[in-house]
Amino acid sequence: MISGTVKHVIHCVCLIGLIVLSQMFMVVPDNFTEDWTECDTARLIIFWIAKLATFGTIPQLSFIFLGMLLYNSFSENVAPKGPFPLAPFICFRVVTRGDFPQLVQNTVKRNLETCLSAGLKSFCFDIVTDKLINITPSGQVRETVVPSTYKTKTGVLYKGRALQYCLEEDVNFLEDDTWIVHLDEETVLTESSINGKYKNIIRGLSRNFVTF
């Protein structure tokens, strides 16, 4: 098994190598010149505004680049293993159209076993679907079917529509202090990711409002 440090080193080498190769094989014609004499003033101003606007992304790209190099995202010991006595209730909300019910059932079953194996106690999986999946309900798994006639106040569609339906007063079953983790139908959890979520919850990180 390759350690997280080795994976991070390979990741950094590949990233820097890709940048170097892209510069080495970048083709610029030998006779390329920028002739501005044929451009009128209006077009020239628009061109330079568009060209200079690209520099606005430099701060964001710089932080992303440094984060990819300096932060080891392959860390194996994200947080102490469970049980988690201080963890608040966590709802893993899985949004799907319901076109692949077997995939959803298999993924939820696997993620449920992973949560239990990691020592998580206070949690549930809420399967939010446009079509009935007939997933086996339990104390930790429930299914929420979004009516075809439901419309949000802002007219949002797709995933936003499904998530907003779960927050309606006559549908929402969660307490105000519940943490909601949004997942796709194919997202597979690991014990490491669960430990990381627990660590962020205890520290109060990754909490924000979602507006549709």
Q: What is the DSSP letter of 187?
A: -
Cβ contact 96:128 at 8 Å: yes
Residue 153: half-sphere exposure toward Cβ, Cα within 13 Å = 5
- pLDDT tens digit sequence for 166-201: 989 889 888 888 889 999 999 999 888 888 888 777
Tens-place pLDDT, residues 75-111: 665 555 555 666 788 999 999 998 999 999 999 999 9
Q: Distance between CA atoms of 96 and 104, rounded to whole angstroms? A: 8
Asked whether the CA dihedral 131, 102, 157, 211 is positive or negative, the reply is positive
Q: H helices within the chain, ranges in order?
A: 4-24, 41-53, 58-70, 101-118, 158-166, 191-203
- Record the pTM: 0.64
Residue from 94, 78, 212 nearest 153 by CA: 212
Q: What share of the chain is helix, strand, coil (3-state, %, to 5)?
A: 45, 10, 45
The sign one gets for the Cα dihedral 156, 149, 128, 103 is negative
Other C-beta atoms closer than 10 Å to the C-beta of 137 total 10
pLDDT band at residue 17 under the 50/70/90 scheme: very high
